[in-house]
């Protein structure tokens, strides 16, 4: 796999290939000094197939001339250009797709190996959520078709001979940040679509009270006739409400709620909760739309469902505290099962690196954040009710460990877990108990040390999760409801309770938390593993300087055996 970054899609493809027994390695294109260096590396490997599911760099002709090289483009047959998804969301396309093509001199113009189309969500979702959801699903279908054709000795098809399932495709220009400028006199629906097209990069620029910002994570709110509470008309672009981290802004028609923002001067600042960036002094409370709500509790019979939402999976200190309160409140209900689940697009990746970096004292903020997420973990782990954690979307680091604190853990098919810490910190979230309780000490150490993604299927085979449900979001919701209902009584409940009891530690949870926090204190305050620099590089998307050794060719085969074992 030749990629520009080992992101969510490339991790999913990697795990998918490992699951199916392929010898697979990764090379990060930005780490090569020249096309000649890259060519030499490919020559050393002599692969049967070079697959590029996410590649912004040009492949040298010396590579694609000699080895079958397939790129995955996030657009249907006929679409070309570097801003494919941006245009699709911005233009309100009803249908879009993904195409796997042979690499040729002209970008996105090679023979077609496979294509898959899908209906675009309405209302639109953020481009980043679309990429990791429907686009990733279509990409996986294309990858499977490519593998089948390569194995069978079939050839790709000239795109001119293929029917275009999506009409009106062609080469479209690169969209830079200025193309997403928000005009507050426009309707909220139009502005929400613009923010969605620019989310998570480059962000939608806007002016508020004379200051420049980039806005993210938007939704249309309920129309408010009396915006200032005194019958006075409020100018578009005025902040008119807030609820937790989210902020409401008046538009030409309706209100636009924004969950995240960044300052915009010479360069864009760090993305932070909107209420931390925008001036919300004196702004009245208004209820945020459900789609942006931090947590939503619903009861169905004897089952309680707590849906948690975190933008990009990051959970800051105050948010963790509010979620702990939400869990504790849910547990006061007289239900017998509590399901803690994420949204279709995110579960959790643990602590909020952006809020830590932006704090006056980053080490102190990181310490507060890890304490707060530990409180959340303990609230789940100490519950009297039977608890279920549902990985509805990808999760990493402390987010995975938080889910493992539940009695029963399930995952949606296609979800990728990164159950380890790779940011210069030891980690907490009771992982020294939960991972070993599920895998055994030796396998837990191996998993945490491998620092590699794990598919939902691998996680189930290893015992990290208990079951895997359908990939389709609606089908998964029905599957989860059926499984939760079955856990309210009878043999399934007794089996789940017995399994949970067998994993209960013979020492208090504070024992594990104390050990973890003693390590974390040295990582945060003494910075013994380089947490500050690694955090900063991550937030600034610094280019990698080398492909990590554990990702290079043939390591996938080793991990597959280790996880399955």
Taking only the tens place, the pLDDT of each residue in 240-293 is 999 999 999 999 999 999 999 999 987 889 999 999 999 999 999 999 999 999
Distance of alpha carbon 21 from the chain centroid: 25
Q: How far apart are CA 80 and CA 502, in angstroms?
A: 55
Q: Given this model, what pLDDT does residue 109 score?
A: 80
Can you read off the two tokens belonging to residue 494? 């007794």
Residue 332 tokens read as: 């006061």
Q: Which of 211-225, 375-389, 487-501 has the lowest mean pLDDT?
A: 211-225
426-452, pLDDT tens digit by residue? 999 999 999 999 999 999 999 999 999
Q: Which residues contact 467 (CB under 8 A, 6 or more apart)?
A: 410, 411, 460, 483
Residue 232 pLDDT class (50, 70, 90 cuts): low
> Are 320 and 373 in contact, with CB atoms under 8 Å apart?
yes
Instruction: Map out the domains of the chain with their CATH numbers.
Output: 177-291 (3.10.25.10), 294-529 (3.90.226.10)
pLDDT band at 200 (very low <50, low <70, confident <90, very high): confident
- Backbone φ and ψ for 48, nearest 5 degrees, come out as -75, -25
Give dist(CA 476, CA 392) in Å, integer: 8
Chain position carrying tokens 């990409």: 139
Q: Does residue 364 carry a pLDDT above 70?
A: yes
Crossing angle of helices 8-19 and 136-152, rounded to 10°? 40
Please report, for residues 138, 300, 306, 404, 485, the alpha-carbon distance to residue 297 in angstroms, rounded to integers and kept in the order given: 32, 10, 5, 20, 16
Confidence grade of residue 106 (pLDDT, cut at 50, 70, 90):
confident
Please report, in angstroms and rounded to a whole number, the separation of the first and last CA atoms in the chain. Answer: 25
- Edge-to-edge strand ranges of the sheet holding 295-300: 295-300, 303-308, 337-341, 386-391, 408-412, 467-469
Q: pLDDT digit string (tens) for 152-169?
A: 999 999 999 998 899 989
pLDDT at 60 (0 to 100): 93
Cα pseudo-dihedral 124, 125, 127, 133, rounded to 10: -120
The percentage of the chain sitting over the pLDDT mark of 70, rounded to a whole number, equals: 96
pLDDT at 118 over 60: yes
CB 309 within 8 A of CB 259: no
pTM value surpassing 0.85: yes
Q: Is the bond leading into 200 cis (omega within 30 degrees of zero)?
A: yes
Three-state secondary structure readout of 434-455: HHHHHHCHHHHHHHHHHCCCEE
Q: How many helices (H) and strands (E) does the chain have?
A: 20, 23
| Residue 241: φ, ψ to 5° | -175, 160
Pick from 152, 148, 140, 54: which is nearest to 456 by CA? 140
Helix 441-450 vs helix 555-564: crossing angle, to nearest 10: 150
- pLDDT of 555 strictly over 60: no
Which 3 state secondary structure label does DSSP give 213? strand
Phi, then psi, of 541 in degrees rounded to 5: 50, 45
Q: Are 52 and 103 in contact (CB under 8 A)?
A: yes
Q: What is the pLDDT of residues 34-60, one digit of tens each?
A: 999 999 999 999 999 999 999 999 999
Please state the rounded mean pLDDT for residues 377-401.
Answer: 98
CA–CA gap between residue 328 and residue 240 (Å, rounded): 31
What is the H or E stretch that residue 14 is in?
A: helix 8-19
Q: Where are the beta strands (DSSP E) in 276-403?
A: 295-300, 303-308, 314-315, 337-341, 350-351, 386-391, 395-396
The average pLDDT across 61-87 equals 95
Tell whether the model's pLDDT for residue 228 goes beyond 90. Answer: no
| Mean pLDDT along residues 139-151 | 97
Residue 338, Cα to own-chain centre: how many angstroms? 24
DSSP 339-402: EEE--SS----EE-HHHHHHSSSHHHHHHHHHHHHHHHHHHHHT-SSEEEEEE-S-EEHHHHHH
Q: What is the mean pLDDT of residues 508-520?
A: 98
């Amino acid at each position: 796999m030749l990629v520009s970054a080992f992101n969510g899609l490339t991790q999913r493809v990697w795990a998918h290939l490992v699951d199916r027994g392929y010898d697979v390695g990764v090379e990060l294109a930005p780490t090569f000094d020249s096309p000649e260096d890259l060519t030499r590396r490919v020559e050393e490997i002599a692969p049967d197939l070079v697959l590029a599911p996410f590649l912004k760099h040009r492949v040298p002709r010396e590579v694609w001339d000699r080895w079958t090289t397939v790129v995955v483009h996030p657009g249907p047959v006929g679409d070309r250009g570097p801003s494919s998804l941006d245009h699709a969301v911005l233009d309100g396309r009803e249908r879009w797709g993904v195409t796997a093509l042979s690499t040729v001199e002209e970008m996105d113009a090679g023979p077609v190996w496979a294509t898959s189309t899908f209906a675009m969500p309405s209302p639109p979702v953020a481009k980043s959520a679309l990429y990791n959801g429907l686009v990733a699903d279509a990409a996986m279908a294309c990858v499977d078709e490519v593998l089948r054709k390569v194995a069978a000795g079939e050839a790709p098809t000239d795109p001119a001979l293929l029917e275009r399932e999506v009409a009106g495709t062609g080469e479209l220009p690169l969209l830079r940040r200025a193309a997403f400028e928000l005009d507050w006199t426009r309707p909220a629906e139009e502005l929400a679509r613009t923010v969605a097209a620019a989310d998570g990069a480059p962000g939608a620029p806007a002016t508020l009270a004379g200051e420049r910002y980039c806005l993210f994570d938007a939704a249309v709110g309920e129309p408010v006739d009396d915006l200032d509470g005194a019958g006075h008309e409020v100018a578009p672009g005025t902040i008119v409400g807030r609820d937790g981290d989210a902020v409401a802004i008046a538009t030409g028609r309706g209100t636009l709620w924004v969950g995240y923002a960044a300052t915009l001067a010479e360069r864009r600042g760090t993305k932070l909760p909107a209420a931390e960036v925008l001036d919300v002094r004196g702004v009245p409370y208004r209820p945020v739309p459900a789609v942006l709500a931090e947590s939503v509790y619903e009861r169905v019979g004897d089952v309680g469902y707590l849906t948690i939402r975190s933008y990009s999976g990051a959970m800051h200190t105050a948010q963790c505290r509010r979620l702990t309160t939400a869990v504790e409140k849910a547990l006061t209900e007289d239900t017998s099962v509590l399901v803690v689940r994420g949204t279709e697009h995110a579960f959790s990746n643990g602590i909020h690196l952006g809020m830590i970096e932006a704090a006056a004292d980053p080490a102190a903020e990181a310490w507060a954040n890890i304490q707060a997420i530990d409180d959340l973990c303990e609230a789940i782990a100490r519950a009297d009710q039977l608890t279920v954690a549902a990985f509805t979307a990808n999760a990493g680091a402390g987010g995975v460990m938080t889910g493992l604190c539940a009695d029963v853990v399930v995952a949606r098919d296609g979800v990728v877990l990164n159950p380890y810490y790779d940011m210069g910190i030891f980690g907490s979230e009771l992982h020294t108990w939960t991972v070993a309780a599920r895998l055994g000490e030796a396998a837990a150490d191996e998993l945490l040390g491998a620092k590699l993604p794990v598919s939902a299927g691998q996680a189930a085979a290893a015992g990290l999760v208990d079951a895997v449900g359908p990939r389709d979001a609606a089908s998964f919701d029905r599957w989860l409801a059926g499984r939760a209902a079955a856990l309210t009584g009878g043999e399934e409940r007794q089996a789940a309770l017995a399994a949970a009891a067998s994993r209960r530690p013979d020492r208090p949870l504070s024992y594990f938390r104390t050990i973890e926090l003693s390590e974390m204190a040295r990582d945060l305050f003494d910075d013994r593993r380089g947490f500050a620099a690694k955090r900063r590089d991550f937030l600034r998307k610094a280019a990698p300087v080398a492909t990590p050794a554990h990702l290079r060719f043939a390591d996938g085969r080793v991990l597959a055996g280790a996880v399955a074992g």
